[in-house]
Structure 1
Amino acid sequence: MSSQEQNNAPVAPAPAVSASKRRPALLAVTGLVAAIGVAYGAYWGLVLSHHEATDNAYVQAPVVQITPQVGGTVLAILADDTDIVRAGQPLVKLDPADAQLALERAQAQLAQTVREVRTMYANNATLAANIHLREAEVARMQADMARANDDVNRRMPLVATGAVGGEELKHTEDALASSKSALAGAQAALSAAREQAASNQVLTEGTSVENHPNVQRAAGAVREAFLALQRTELPAPVAGQVAKRTVQVGQRIAAGAPLMSIIPLEQVWVEANFKEVQLRKMRIGQPVKLQADIYGRNVEYDGRVVGLGAGTGAAFALLPAQNATGNWIKVVQRVPVRVEIDAAQLAAHPLRVGLSMEATVDVAEQTGAPVTAASVTRSNSTQAFASQQAAADRMVHDIIANNLGKPVTRVSGAAAHRVALSNSPSQQR
């Protein structure tokens, strides 16, 4: 047979797959898909619907700026970036020369004021004695005038008989007039003494030397100067890690200028930015699972929802959106949710500000307050500056006591300042 005839020969058809074998396979695939759908639906209903997750979450912490309360020249910097400092530890020292001179002037002024006020109180007795003296003079002048008046009355009838001359009568009348003038002067001096005593009494009554307004004003100047001297050394208000140090030795700084920052890493929290549609079931106190990119999935933190931001990020942006102009496209907004981290886990695995986190909130529990409600108010405080006022009060007390003539066992003046400095954290180190 030729090749052409072979090409034109009919091809035998392939055997057809029987329908009985295809149907079980399709039923198996359909059953598998249905089982997967039912399993996923059950998993979503039991697990996924009770959780809200986002990877738009970052670590936040308080940023405590170190700013001087007085201006001056920087003499020493005692902490640098990445250093861990404790509360009350000195960070920066300023030149104290001007503040020291101001304190010494205020101390001298307080001592002088105390002595001047003591003089006021001492003058009360002096002025009272002066009143008694003036009263005695008035009594003496009254006696002299009475005697002169008697002399005139005795001599006047005798002038007609010639027993007493007119010149002698004139002398007695002149003596009477002189005694009247002297009595008027003594009475005026008595009135002046009483007014002077009353004026001095107004300055001293109802108070003591220690509580006299003049003394309190001078004491306030001492406290102000003492605090200005103490503030030439800047302590750390909280414990934490130093960051963003910009101050340099020899730099002339003004009050309020930022020098460095302290980050209290034990107070960090997570700011999770959830979509607005994810906030429907969120409540205060709901548990949160957190994972940090720095540690990976090997470390999981336990947290809880403690608050919700007052607005979206777009609302507080430097250039907020103007949705009332031009074409508009709706964009789902995100609201920051504050998540508190377990302190023990945070101590075991420290975090840094700005690290990326993944947050998953368990919203199954609905008994708490909505995140739109106000949470418990929190407050931070520091005791790093508490000792300064107490030391100033001790200094004022000692200066007043020493200038009252009452010996005290505590040191005073510049010695008290040296004692205060010796008790400061920098000296104890």
Structure 2
Amino acid sequence: MSTSPNPQRAKALRAIAVTVLVVGGGSLAYWALFSRHVEHTDNAYVQANVVQVTPQIAGTVVAIQADDTDVVKAGQTLIRLDPADARVALDQAEAQLAQTVREVRTLFANNATAAAQLSLRQAEVQRLQGDVARAQDDVSRRAPLVATGAVGREEFNHVTAQLNSARSALEAAQSAMAAAREQLGASQALTDGTAVEQHPQVLRAAARVREAFLALRRVDLLAPVDGTVAKRSVQLGQRVQAGAPLMSVVTLDQVWVDANFKESQLQRIRIGQAVDLTADVYGKKVHYRGTVAGLGAGTGAAFALLPAQNATGNWIKVVQRIPVRVAIHREDVKAHPLRVGLSMEAEVDVSQEEGEPLASSAAHQPVARTAVFDHLSQDADARVAQIIAAHAGHRVRPASVSAAPRSLPGA
């Protein structure tokens, strides 16, 4: 008994086969044209420099001038400490510097006094040498005449005594001249090769003034960079120690992305390749242009606080991930601001493999720099120069001083 084929079933099977072929062909074409040139990961997060604001001196907080989410500029005062102790220390250091300058001036003045004493002793020696010479002539003339009776013994003894007295006075004057010469040398040893403002004692006192000056300036905690305040933990009246983190400033205009690719995806990733980024906070409609800036030196597990110990009896292989740093175009970040820690999706165009897999040369530019604290040392030098000039008796112009001192905090 024969059975006729079901035409509807045959038609359905043909439709399924065609669909499978179309989908498979389309997938193969998509992979050949697009997917094989792209490495994708959704394990990517926004990163930025989180700059901690820490005091350089201990003190009590008397003012907080920025809070979380506030946008601040470099050099803006964020926190202020009580300046009373620092101001007292500066007053003491300035008074000590002034006294030291006057003491050093005395050392230089003593040189002139010692030189005058030496000149006086030299003149005295020259005078006594003349007396000795005259007394010696008197003795020499009278000695032959004593035998003939032309000169009495008493007179000869008198001129001989005068000669001995003159010689004794000359020896004493020569000793006094030697002492004066030593005194001058000792005085000059304290001042040779230097001026009042460059004397070691003055430099030591000046260093203490600079230290106290900087401590007074550091009662104002300044923002080292432009950014947004985060993680404020300081409170009014709190006694803080040097180095204690009080708040952070996040540089949201200089963000990057750490995209964590599987180790099996790194074969074709190179520095300089283009990256297409999307953020969950904006959805797929907003795309960020990025560039591979570098590959991490190790996996996250290698740098973990408790790294994995794989040399164990029970071991399961876990695919590791390597952080790939992606630089984002600043124009895109400015148009659509990002925040630290936001989730991203990254697609790296690996069609071009001419770049290096690792950075081949060291960076020649500093990673970051701030000029906020540069003027502090200049102001300290100017303050020191003012004090020295006021007490040195002449105008002092150190080469390092190029600006007038700024007003001190709380002055």
Match of 1:390 among 378, 383, 386: 378
Residue 253 of structure 2 aligns to a residue in which SS?
Answer: helix
Q: Would the alpha carbon gap of residues 376 and 140 (structure 1) be closer, same or farther in structure 2, given more than 3 Å must change?
A: closer
Q: Which residue number in structure 1 is paired with residue 350 of structure 2?
A: 363
Alignment partners' CA distance in 2, 1:69 and 1:82: 24
Q: Quote the Cα distance in structure 1 between the aligned partners of 2:133 and 2:358.
A: 99
Counterpart residue identity of residue 166, structure 2: S
Deviation per CA, 1:192-220: give whole Å up to 9, x if none. 22222233333333333322322222222
Give the Cα–Cα distance (whole angstroms) in 1 for the partners of residues 333 and 87 of structure 2: 45
1:2-37 per-position Cα deviation (integer Å, ceiling 9, x unaligned): xxxxxxxxxxx9x95547776565445433322321
SS of 1:274 mapped into structure 2: strand
Matched, 1:72 2:96: no
What TM-score comes out, normalization by structure 1 length?
0.87
Q: Which residue of the partner structure matches residue 291 of structure 2?
A: 304
**1:101 pairs with 2:88:** yes
Tell me, yes or no, if the aligned pair for 2:295 and 2:357 is still in contact at 8 Å. no
Matched with 2:401 is: none
> For residues 153-208 of structure 1, what are the alpha-carbon distances to aligned partners after superposition, in whole Å with 9 as ceiling and x for unaligned?
34444544556554444333322222111101111121222222233333333333
Q: Does 1:137 align with 2:163?
A: no
CA apart distance, 1:346? 0.7
The answer on whether the counterparts of 1:74 and 1:251 sit within 8 Å (CA) in structure 2 is yes
Aligned equivalents of 1:28, 1:245: Cα separation in 2: 65
Q: Distance in 1 between matches of 2:281 and 2:7?
A: 58
Q: Could you tell me the TM-score, scaled by structure 2's length? A: 0.90
Is residue 284–residue 375 contact of structure 1 (8 Å, CA) maintained in 2? no
Matched, 1:185 2:172: yes
Shift of 1:324: 0.5
Instruction: Please give the secondary structure, in 1, of the residue aligned with 2:293.
Output: strand
1:121-136 to 2 correspondences below 5 Å: 121-136=108-123
Q: Note if contact 2:268-2:353 (Cα within 8 Å) is conserved in structure 1.
A: yes
Secondary structure of 1:59's partner? strand
How many residues end up aligned between the 2 structures? 404
Give 3-state SS (helix, strand or coil) of 1:234's partner: strand
The percent of aligned pairs where both chains have the same amino acid is 60
Separation of aligned partners in 2, 1:407 and 1:195: 32
Alignment partner, residue 33 of structure 2: 46
Other-structure match for 2:400: none
Match of 1:238 in 2: 225
Task: Give the Cα–Cα distance (whole angstroms) in 2 for the partners of residues 297 and 213 of structure 1.
Answer: 69
- Structure 2 portions without partners, runs of 5+: 398-403
- Describe the shift of the 1:22–1:252 C-alpha distance in structure 2 as closer, same or farther (beyond 3 A): closer
Shift in CA distance, 36/374, structure 1 to aligned 2, threshold 3 Å: farther
Aligned to 2:392: 404
Structure 1 residue 50: deviation in Å?
0.7
Structure 1 equivalent of residue 191 of structure 2: 204
Distance in structure 2 (CA, Å) of the matches to 1:380 and 1:48: 38
Structure 1 segments unaligned to the other structure (5+ residues) = 1-12, 410-415
Distance of 1:215 and 1:126 partners within structure 2: 22
Contact between 2:100 and 2:201, CA under 8 Å: does it hold in 1? Answer: yes
* C-alpha deviation, 1:285, in angstroms: 1.1
- Is 2:367 the partner of 1:379? yes
Counterpart Cα distance in 2 of 1:184 and 1:380: 75
CA RMSD of aligned residues (A): 2.6
Larger Cα Rg: Structure 1 or Structure 2? 1
Tell me how far apart the structure 1 counterparts of residues 205 and 22 of structure 2 sit (CA, whole Å).
89
Change (3 A) 1:88 1:30: same
Query: In the alignment, residue 347 of structure 1 is paired with which amino acid?
Result: K
